Structure 1
Amino acid sequence: MMRLLLVDDEPVILEDLSLFLSGLPDVERVYTAGSGQEAAELLAQFPVDIVVTDIRMPGMSGLELCEHVIQNHADNVLCILLSGYAEFEYAQQALKNGAAAYLLKPVKKDELLQTIRRTWESLQQKREAAESGRKAQETLRSHLLQLKASLLRDLLKGKKLPLKTLEEETGKLGIPFAAEEDVAVVMLRIENSFLEYDERSISLFEYAIVNIAEEVFQKHFEVWACKDDNHYLTMLLKIKAPSAEDSAARKLLEQLIPELQHFVTFYLHGKISVITSGFEPFPHGVAELYQHALVTLRRLSGSEEGHFIRLWDQPSQMPLRPLQRLYEPPVLLQLLETGRWQDACERLDYIFGELNGNGMDTAEYISEVFYALSNAYTRIVHMNGLQLADVTEEPVVPANAAAFRTVKQLRDWSLHTLQRIKDRVLAGSTENRGSFVLQIHQYIERHLAEDVTLQAISEQLHLHPAYISAMYKQETGENLSEYIYRYRMEKAAYLLRNSKAKIYEIAAGVGYQYTPYFTKLFKGYFGSSPQEYRAMSGRE
């Protein structure tokens, strides 16, 4: 519906036209003004679609009011000019000044109404065209940003492009980076309160952080940004002063990055850690700089926040400590295979307890745990004749470990998925099946140092050895003797990696009193002797 503003210095005409137009069904509101100046003030206060104004008025004339509308409300308001003079130059001047129509007074009401409605249709078309143009610009800008980010991700991952091709791509996308210019890689990890939101909200925060970074760096650096495959915001920076030395560029980064961290905390109420490399020629040094920054960031504890790390003054990396609880027998898959759901749940708590302690809540460790758990989950689902889609409506296993930014996110997913698998597996099996295998595995674990035999197990379960052997093979697809051998070897390997016990003590602990025989079996299973295995694991 239309909103009209009538402007005339003759009150009688103004009131007559207002009464006529106010009663029309397609008119929402009619404002009136006795002068051009009053009309300009009303336009600043209220939304108006069409101004119908007399030309001859004291003070601001109708032509001047039309110019004012063009200058201040061109996208939203059109003017219709009325005049009691039939001079052609008035009509010329009115149309030249952007008026939508020009009518002679005394104006016929039907003619005025038709003109207003034609003008309203023209205004709607103008607005639709403007909105369409705005959306097209937004789409083009969005596509450009995506294309720029995609090209940068390719370069970070080491994709080789002929220099001519790269120059053509950067030229088409308006990226001001040329071959052999020195660039630095800056990586950002969002932290604490940011991670309490869902992924869509986090993406909005990341967009805002990149905007802040561009504002902070733009005086001295060209900025090219993307989000890499590991969910880290990654930027290439090129100093604008072509003669600047590497040391001067590094000094600028040391000044500006703390400023970036401050603004992110001040405006967005969250923290970021930042790693910056030194400068290397573009594009040859980009992938190497990125890998160095990525490795450093992935080793950074998630519980430590707000870091600023300069790669050029970092000491050599110390070796990572191996995870222990993830691989301690019986491993999660063995618990799942025998339906020991409560033990599996407790094992997850045990594993994540290690991750949350001693600064092990890093992306590197999260990745290791994720792949181990996802493999176990996939294996147990397939063993029960199911597919992942049978267990849950959405994919059980995310595409990669980068889906988890924190230990808590991985823990929540692990426990939730375990419960879904348990519910689905139990719905398609009987209690006796899990109980039978469970009792056997528990007996083996408790008596591993002893002579675990089929006869001993049969006496424990009060079942015939042949029946036990056949049922175990039917339920697990593996011979019982093979399982005992495999479990002993894996337990021995774990003790070699994670204890200082003597070889003969480990051999006895897993049921072999004659150490040379244990050594022979171990080498046959792992391809190396116990001493060699321990040396390779760094225990000697």
Structure 2
Amino acid sequence: MRILIVDDESGVRQMMADTVRRFDDSYEVEEAEEGEEALRMLDESFDLVITDIRMPGMDGVELASRIRERYPDIIIFMLTGYAEFEYARAAIRSNVSEYLLKPVSVQALREAIAKAADTVRGRKEAERISRLREMALLEKRVQDLLYELPLPYYDEWMFPEYDAVGVLSFVIEDAEEGGTIRFAVKNVLGDVLSGFGVPLVFVEGSHLTCVLFLKDGHASPEDIASRCADAVRATLRRTIRAGIGGVAKQLSEVSGLYWRSLKQLGIDRPAVPIAGDGTEQGTDGMLEPRGEMHHLIRQTIHILETEYDQDITLSGLAERLYLNPNYLSTLFKNETGTTFTQALLRIRMEKAKELLRTTKLKIYEVGSRVGYADSAHFSRVFKNHENMSPYEYREKYAQA
């Protein structure tokens, strides 16, 4: 916490500064002997001002008022004597947080500063969380742009100032899919790209994609990609290969740059269903991953087909695939014509019907094997899906 002590009596000022420094090594304490000097020294990095109320020239009340106009978040303490109590009330009306009677006891000063420190910590933590939320939302909106999802007009404010937007994608040579090396590469790319503009780096299934908000006079995408490759080689001793999407002036062009960057890397653009419900089924009613289907959706379907008996959720699966859940949901619907929840239900019901037909497992055992710990819940879901209970289905279709 940065603290400025303002008092025209040098002995009082220095003694208080030394006392405050002993309270906590992290306190950074500076001194000013009058109001004008204090205003010249102040900036937004100060958290607390402790000022005497009576000083030649600009007094403490006027200083507090000027601070409040310029730096409304700075906390202000006022030092006053008993004879100045009524005058101090004017300071309180100027949004002074505390007034301390002189001579100030060490304990009173310690408690007041500790209270201010708690307020500053709480405020900074709230600001940090707010920035993280804004960044998470910005990342989601940029990912949506990559996949041609519409941008809500009311979210346009969150984008950094830019004159152009560049898109680069990278693959790591000889990297295992899902390996942690991708996140190390992401950090290096973020550091390098920060020198050219405001970057957002996404780790996707087979590659990393960088969206860079640029100002006029920026380097060429080829030069930027070369710098990125050199940095990864020097820092991590790994080789990355770049797909250069290029640079555009409008956010609406970002998706085209993205697909161009993937094409250079030999990564197919996801196909979007065009007719019917878009769902291809095998003879057993299960989802069939098509060759042109996005590799992330093929991977998702494989997981559903093999882990349907577990507690599997969209958010949990998105985390495993390093994706935004909303993006995975939208891509899944576009690629399969059905929702994630509907697909999982269909798979579980097909597996349950197979077990009912071909085994003598009890109903609750069948439910457990397809991901339903509650037998009654399984029976309700099955009946809603098949228009008959599991028992009725077995009676009708069980093999002799």
TM, length-normalised to structure 1: 0.36
Larger RCO, structure (CA 8 Å, separation 6 or more):
2
In terms of Rg, which structure is larger? 1
Higher helix share: 1
TM, length-normalised to structure 2: 0.46
